[in-house]
Amino acid sequence: MKIDILLDVKTTLGEGPVWDLESQRLYFIDSMDGRVFRCTAEGTELRAWDVPGKIGSMALRKDGSGAIVSLDKGFHLLDFESGDCQLLHDPEPGMDTTRLNDGKCDRRGRFFAGSMDMMEEGPKGALYRVDPDLSVTKVDDGIICSNGPCFSPDDRTFYFTDTWTGEVWAYDYDIETGAVSNRRTFAKVDTATGGAADGATVDAEGYYWLALVYDGRLCRYAPDGTLDREIAMPVKKVTSVQFGGPNLDVLYVTSMAKPPLPRFPGDGVLRGSLFAITGLGIKGLPEPRFGG
């Protein structure tokens, strides 16, 4: 196994890596600076798009023209050609203390993204589903900080975490309707050294990979919720993970250069870098596109 710096971009809050199998490009975001980045598997041909607000996550659209993005004030559609970012729906109008955060698509093109309390203290957030017909449905609530949404390879389980509960949850998932049910604890997160659950992905073997922000660890959980493997990273504030590369066997890891609140720790000179881990012997799954 080898950990390399793919890009030393010093993202204030790097998040949400998305590998596009069709274009062979990696997308990732800077949540606090409101920016979407794109590069090759080797970190070349870097370009960026500005969006009108903080951004929590993105998913590419099925026609390749742009992406659905979850901004601090609503779901938007970003056009890559023009750079325009059009409001689709604000599910929390008038709520000045919350913003939309992490999100992922299922294999029918539905986009799931949750919101968070910007002080990361109270259960003010909720989980939403955006269907290909652009309708928006609330599917859960009472969440402090939404993170780590993912789907099992058989489409029967939806994973999700509320960062500060110390748990990863699993729901029964109905791929035909997009409904979630039977929420239960999938895994307990080791928070003894100050870490907390952040972004996640599921590999081709059905194992759940989780970034432990503020603790500098990546954790791989088996389908039964047991801890299978840990990787220590060169920085503490790792934020999210995604498999990519031509063979889907490179694990891309985002990080943050500056913590969002004063109570969170700083980091070393590599803070805010985008990392690439090779030699794991594990492959990921193609990331689905948004159907709208």
As annotated, the binding site includes: 15, 99, 101, 147, 198
Residues 221, 227 contacting (CB under 8 angstroms): yes
Distances from the Cα of 9 to the Cα of 31, 40, 214, 215, angstroms? 13, 14, 19, 21
Based on the residue annotation, tell me whether 20 is a catalytic residue of this protein.
no
Residues 22, 287 contacting (CB under 8 angstroms): no
| Sequence-ordered list of residues with C-beta below 8 angstroms from that of 10, at least 6 positions apart, any chain | 257, 271, 272, 273
- Specify binding-site residues for substrate: 99, 101
Catalytic position from the list 72, 106, 198, 215: 198
- Specify binding-site residues for a divalent metal cation: 15, 147, 198
Tokens of 97: 């203390």
Distances from the Cα of 94 to the Cα of 74, 87, 97, 98, angstroms? 11, 15, 9, 9
Tokens of 258: 């500056």
Q: Which residues are catalytic?
A: 198
